A and B are shown apart, each in its own frame.
Chain A
Amino acid sequence: MLGLERGVVEEWLSEFKALPETQITSYAATLHRKKTLVPALYKVIQDPNNELLEPVCHQLFELYRSSEVRLKRFTLQFLPELIWVYLRLTASRDRQSNGCIEALLLGIYNLEIADKDGNNKVLSFTIPSLSKPSIYHEPSTIGSMALTEGALCQHDLIRVVYSDLHPQRETFTAQNRFEVLSFLMLCYNSAIVYMPASSYQSLCRMGSRLCVSGFPRQHEKRWKEHCGRVVLDPDFMVQLLTGVYYAIYNGQWDLGQEVLEDIIYRAQLELYSQPLLVANAMKNSLPFDAPDASQEGQKVLKVEVTPTVPRISRTAITTASIRRHRWRREGIKVRKDKTQLTVSVKRFVKKLENISDDEAQEILEEKNYVAALGICAQDPVGNGSSVSGGEVYSFQTPKRSSKMAELAAELAQTPGQSVAPDHSECPEKTAKTPQSSKRSGSNKVQQRLQSKKKEYVATTPYRLRKRLAAPDPYLESESEYSASCSEEEDEEDQKEVSTVLSGRKTPAKTKALSTPPPRNTLAKKIKEDKMSNLVEEYFEAHSSSKVLTSDRTLQKLRKRRLNQQTLHDILKKAPLAYAAEIKELNQQHESLFSKWMLQLHLGFNIVLYGLGSKRDLLEKFRTSVLQDSVHLVVNGYFPSITVRSILNSITEEVLDHIGTFRSPLDQLEFIIKRFKEDSSLELYVLIHNLDSQMLRGERSQQILAQLSSLPSIYLIASIDHINAPLMWDQAKLSLYNWLWYETTTFSPYVEETSYENSLLVQQSGSLALSSLTHVLRSLTLNARGIFRLLAQYQLENKDNPSYPGLSFQDFYQQCREAFLVNSDLTLRAQLTEFRDHKLIRTKRGADGVEYLLIPVDDSTLTDFLEKEDEDV
């Protein structure tokens, strides 16, 4: 940088500081006369390493903040250059050096989003209507014929579009960056008429560089500077186009066209529809050669400088102002509708078609609609007559109804039985009053039985005991259970559910229930009345979320927690009940193996369901039938299994393919292709627990379904979860082409549950505690202190279910107060240490703030703190 320019800038910097308040206006008037200042400032901005950059940015912000509008504009003219430099630096990840530019941009943004009183600005734009005069037309000149009163009424709607509120921004993030920049471009565009030519050039330069840098097109440019690709946003590009449009017709013909091409190029690559639309329209409306702008300073697109209507809000003027073109020369034939480019794109699309087209289209659509209505109207009639109502509703399966009848029959028997308790083999069984049966009424039989069982078991919950007319002294003695009460609402819950179940089957049940005492039927009647407002009650019952259960915890039960190994050993020792019967069941299922094979070969896939582990069964199937064919066994219950690993094992081990795939879908395609090409390939896939946590996702199921639909892949899978069939929609079901087989084995889920993170099995707790103490013991005293602080804070907040963690800033504050750290960086270094040992977890909150959390449950944490206290 030449000393001369440097001198100019320095002079400018010092000049303003010395300026008294009163002379600002006169200073503003003289500023533009300094011919050398502006180029010098551009040079400063372009060089991120210039030491003058920071004071210059500061100075520009000062100018912008001053009340003088001309000073504001002085700053604004550098905006394109600033944005370019900022985005370039961001893209190159050289964050350090653009701090001052970032601050300047944010400062301007935050100034612009609020009006003088500090309220947020809402920008509005009135969509012109035919009946009101606008810059496009005068209603009286359109002609009286078209504007009858009725027509006017229709067009009288004045639609105003409001912008969103722009929130204040503290920092740039990837999410808000282009929101801010688009708004800044909007501000620039609103003042574009006042900008000097150098600013237009800068704008064009910025546009073209942003669009092509890093892309192959950059090689065609004279500008060779190496730069990474800059991410762009469609809204920002539209704003950019608005500015460029003005620049094209105001002296920057060649530059402007170049940038237009570049923007189109970029928008095509990125497939941004809105910029494409605007840019194409601009391109199509360009005249053949440059407007005659030989006279310097003569503006081709002349814009009225002052708004005529004062109450139009400022940005409405900005968009409108560009539309207020008046063509001086007749040689320029820019069609009027093309000048509306700057209106929001949606409007634009409509305007582009001429109106008659539009109407014809509408009529056509209307016709379609009417036709469709006609079809619709015919259809229901056809349906209604072809399927009588009775048929539609008769879909209860016989199985189910018989079950319900069974229930009812059992119900009828129970009261009698409870009166005669002698049959029970248990001496503890107390006299059961019919009242209890009345209470549970025609609930599900399970519950009935359950209640009985419960009594016998002597762990009666409160609710049940309440039903008993004469509470049993024996039960009372074990009254530590009295705490374990469930509320009435629960009872209601269950009742409702049962009424839902029984509702459909009521007639059958009343027949069956004719024997029980009249009280029973009475209760039932009441319940039937309730059915009407059942829905309301359901929500009522579920609205209060309070559930009372006893407060006892496993820890108080002075029994050591078992770990996985001992559990396994103990269970091995315990004899398996009903081994003979289970074996018989299995043999039954095994007899089906040959049938399975046949059906697999015929293009069906087989799914097994029913209680009990089906792993052994499938293993047996594998060893007995699939011994000499290619097969793949997938242990779905394994917690880290993914579809990807399944696909990998197919490609690598079955197809002997080496190489990676970009996505599972690609991989799937490859597999499908291979299997289609080579018809001799056959693969049996056995999946244990198709419904496990990792495989039940929609995408994995989709992929598996597509895989299984291949004719030479035979899938046989098992499901256990009660809601497993909900995984599949019609499309997936038809891909899977399932045949269902009920294979209830009653064998324990040994393997499947060994990975389950069960509550009762002691697992991570001890591990976490020991690792905590170990790691911390190796750390410095200060580090321990830091961790203690975090732990204590977390324990204080343990009752807060939505506790997000401790924010970094607060944590830093606290640590400082405890004299644990002296700077931001040391704390961060410490936290990294913790994070590497998985002692803490960080996550970003909704507002972008970092929160710290110890991923250990509260009780472990308390234990830990206690231990620490002992040590100290």
Chain B
Amino acid sequence: QQVQEDLNKQLFDNLVSFLRRSHSEFQEKTTEWTCRVKSREIPTAALVLGVNVTDHDLTFRSLSEVLQNNITPYIALLEAKDCPGIKNLMQKLMGQLMNCYVDVDSLEDEDYVQVSQNRIRCSMTSLTNWYETVTKKTDSETPSKKRTSSSRDWQSPPVVVIFKDMESFTTKVLQDFIVISSQHIRELPLVLIFGIATSPMIIHSLLPHSVSSLLCIELFQSLSCKEHLSTIIDKLLLTAQFPFKLGEKVLQVLINIFLYHDLSVQNFIKGFQLCIVEHFYSQPLSVLCCQPVDAKKRVNSLSHDQCENIRKLPSFRRYVESQVSEKQIALLTADNFLKEITQKLLEDLRVYHENYVSVLRCLHVFTSSLPKYPLGKQIRELHCACLENRVWETEEYESSLQLARMLNKSDLVTMLQQCVEIFVSSSGNEFDKTVEKLKEFLTQFQKLEAEAFQERDVSVSSQKELQKKTDLYHLQKTLLELKESRRSKKLTKFEMLRFEVVDYIDSLVRNYLVPADHKTLHEIAYFNTASVLRGHLNAAPRIALHTALNNPYCYLKNQALKSDGGRISNKAPDICIVYKLHLECGRLINLVDWLEAFSTVVMAVEGPNADAASSDQVDDIIHARFIRAVSELELLGFIKPSKRKTDHVARLTWGGC
């Protein structure tokens, strides 16, 4: 589990650093652009972030960190839910600004802290006053180290106000704020940043022209969430560093949730974390899923039970069966031998991963530029395809190879160069030969260029011939000849070389892109139970409720409840019966009829011999059971009491309304 926490940490570091990179450019732009802002207008940055709202928090946090470190200590982050009115907005704003002032130099003066605690009546003037005192102080004292460089550009650092979710602010508040602050822009260099989820036009639809003309708006586009996703997948899944891997189905589920539900990178990461947790929780052998150095130690310290566990793994069994019999016996009986073999297998697995990644990238280079993308545009799709089964057996792979055989030379050369780079950068030492081979291809291509001239001459001369001959017979003849030659031209050196290259790539793929579940001991590193994941992340409470009500046998394994062909026994729990009866009704349900129906059903269960004499007593119980069932349905939200008619309830689902 420490391992897994490490992983988590690395994960977040990755993400944050990535975001930071993406925002540094914004910040640079901001500096240069605010310089040319006119005095009357409030410089404003509109940040289009896309619909993945949940990730914005992280983005803004890192953005404000960056700004804080580089430009100004005065930053306020405002959220719409905190600011129902302009006063709340100002209060929040001042609170944040003054707090951050206190943070910057908390030792300087206690009296200021007191002031801010006293909840001075907030207004723009007090804000400007505060700002003046603060800037004066920092100017008169030693200019703080942080802002030595930046304060030269700006005589005074600007105050940055970030509106996290601009769309959900009330327009009145925004307008008032902008109008008021625009009057103070000389004393208080204010910079606004709007976080926008939809489109930049929203600014103009939210604010009237008179207000938006006070703003000097610059638009920034943040990276789309899909790009974020592919970087994360790149960094997490397609490296050999992390021993933990996702199975094909799991990955598919995660990607589907991302693409079709929320587009939230954070949720993707959450799912990934959950996978890790599940894997380590459910798979006893997951202790071996760690860095190779630790793995060796741990293999040596395996207990007998754990060895037995290894022997039970299906992939290991397959491996054992493929061995000769003496070895089989040794594997199944001697723990030490098993440990040795396990170490070897784990090493194999690691090497396999390394090779896999580089070959996958190489293949991606080829397939991503093909028309129609038979194997997918993104590397994650390719990855999924490779994990699923032998990729070279699929139709898509065939067609993409076909297409690859028709590539022109310049593309091919660049691709090959890219591949060479990939292989060189990869750590695996098996690829030396491959690199050599590819380089050889490249040189051959260069040679071909020289020959190409000659060929062109040949073709030109043949065309000239064509122009000379005029009579029909000869024309036909030469055309036929040309055709022949063209057919044979397929086997020009270039084409032959092209075939060779493609075949070589194909062989690489066949060698290295074997699906992971064909590998021995893959269970240690791969997490494959997608259904669990789906159940926890993307649950369907309504479906669960309905199956429970419609078909209680799913949960209560009692033979009496077993329904054959959809017939439901009337021995079902009360609530199920009541639910069934209610399905039959329209918008309003008469309680008396319902009760009557219910009692008939229940009486039938007790048996027709229930005579009239005892019915009074029984009736009470049935009545009570009915009441309970109805109020349970009400709690579940299927019905609600209605005032339209006495003793009626309204149905709320399916045909109700």
Contacts and interface: CB of A to CB of B under 8 A. Distances in A.
B586 A353 contact: no
Contact of A446 (B41, B266, B573, B580): B580
A162 interface: no
Contacts of A371: 219
Interface in B179-217: 179-180, 183, 199-201, 208-214, 216-217
Contacts of A346: 208, 210
A742 to B, nearest CB: 5
Given A447-B584, A574-B625, A457 B213 contact: no
B373 to A, nearest CB: 8
B623 A562 contact: yes
Interface in A536-564: 542, 547, 549-557, 559, 562
A470 B534 CA distance: 50
B214 A395 contact: no
Given A731-B54, A746-B573, A413 B585 contact: no
A interface: dominant SS: helix
B123 A271 contact: yes
Contacts of A385: 373, 377
Interface in A729-772: 730-731, 733-734, 737, 739-742, 744, 746, 748-749, 752-753, 756-761
B81 interface: yes
Contact of B54 (A577, A611, A723, A730): A730
Given A395-B256, A602-B277, A357 B587 contact: no
B3 interface: no
Contacts of A555: 646-647
A591 to B, nearest CB: 13
Given A386-B378, A549-B590, A562 B627 contact: yes
Contact of B627 (A392, A457, A760): A760
A376 interface: yes
Question: Chain A CB within 10 Å — which of B54, B179, B567 has the most?
Answer: B567
A313 interface: no
B335 interface: no
B349 to A, nearest CB: 27
A735 to B, nearest CB: 9
B566 A414 contact: yes
A449 B585 contact: no
Interface string B586-599: 11111111011100
A127 B520 CA distance: 83
A372 B636 contact: no
A276 B200 contact: no
Interface stretch (A486-494, A511-519, A624-632, A839-847): A486-494
B167 interface: no
B637 interface: yes
Question: Chain A CB within 10 Å — which of B277, B552, B625, B647 has the most?
Answer: B647
Contacts of A749: 628, 631-632, 635
A511 B151 CA distance: 75
B161 interface: no
Nearest to A557: B592
A814 interface: no
Nearest to A284: B183
Contact of A553 (B199, B200, B588, B646): B646
A427 interface: yes
Contact of A722 (B180, B260, B566, B638): B638
Given A459-B597, A559-B623, A756-B631, A487 B38 contact: no
A550 B590 contact: yes
B654 A497 contact: yes
Contacts of B620: 562, 570
B179 A349 contact: yes
A379 B199 CA distance: 12
A288 interface: no
Interface string B626-657: 11101110111110010001111100011101
B542 interface: yes
B556 A611 contact: no
B176 interface: yes
B601 interface: yes
A414 B557 CA distance: 24
Contacts of A737: 270
Interface string A420-460: 00000011100000000000000001111111111011110
A759 B561 CA distance: 30
A273 B654 contact: no
A744 B548 contact: yes
Question: Chain A CB within 10 Å — which of B121, B267, B649, B654 has the most?
Answer: B654
A720 B580 contact: no
A410 interface: yes
A604 B277 CA distance: 11
B557 A271 contact: no
B581 interface: yes
B545 A581 contact: no
A717 B105 CA distance: 43
B545 A554 contact: no
Interface in A780-798: none
Interface stretch (B82-90, B317-325, B469-477): B82-90
Contact of A720 (B211, B224, B635): B635
B394 interface: no
B556 A364 contact: no
B517 to A, nearest CB: 20
A380 B538 CA distance: 28
B544 A744 contact: yes
B87 A748 contact: no
Nearest to B267: A734
Interface string B401-440: 0000000000000000000000000000000000000000
A446 B590 contact: no
Contacts of A353: 40, 213
Question: Chain B CB within 10 Å — which of A347, A447, A557, A734 has the most?
Answer: A734
Contacts of B536: 739-741
B654 A547 contact: no
Interface in A590-612: 595, 598-599, 602, 604, 609-612
A609 B539 contact: yes
B621 interface: yes
Contact of A723 (B81, B557, B637): B637
Given A349-B213, A484-B593, A741-B536, A268 B125 contact: yes
B590 A451 contact: no
B570 interface: yes
Interface string A17-46: 000000000000000000000000000000
A570 B621 contact: yes
A358 interface: yes
Contacts of A722: 541-542, 545, 636-638, 653
Contacts of B624: 562, 567, 570-571, 574
A568 to B, nearest CB: 9
Nearest to A719: B541
Given A269-B121, A595-B281, A459 B593 contact: yes
11 contacts: A269-B123, A273-B176, A276-B183, A410-B566, A413-B566, A427-B608, A428-B604, A550-B590, A585-B555, A604-B274, A758-B630
Given A349-B179, A453-B581, A559-B619, 14 more contacts: A271-B123, A271-B180, A372-B48, A452-B567, A454-B584, A456-B604, A459-B600, A461-B585, A484-B590, A598-B277, A721-B635, A739-B274, A748-B628, A760-B630
4 A-B pairs with the lowest CB-CB distances in the bound complex, closest first: A740-B539, A490-B586, A611-B548, A410-B566
Interface of A: 268-269, 271-274, 276-277, 280, 346-347, 349-350, 353, 357-358, 361, 364-365, 368-369, 371-372, 375-376, 379, 385-387, 391-392, 395, 397, 399-400, 403, 410-411, 413-414, 417, 426-428, 445-454, 456-459, 461, 464, 481, 484, 486-487, 490, 493-494, 497, 542, 547, 549-557, 559, 562, 567, 570-571, 573-574, 577-578, 581-582, 584-585, 595, 598-599, 602, 604, 609-612, 637, 665, 702, 719-725, 730-731, 733-734, 737, 739-742, 744, 746, 748-749, 752-753, 756-761, 859
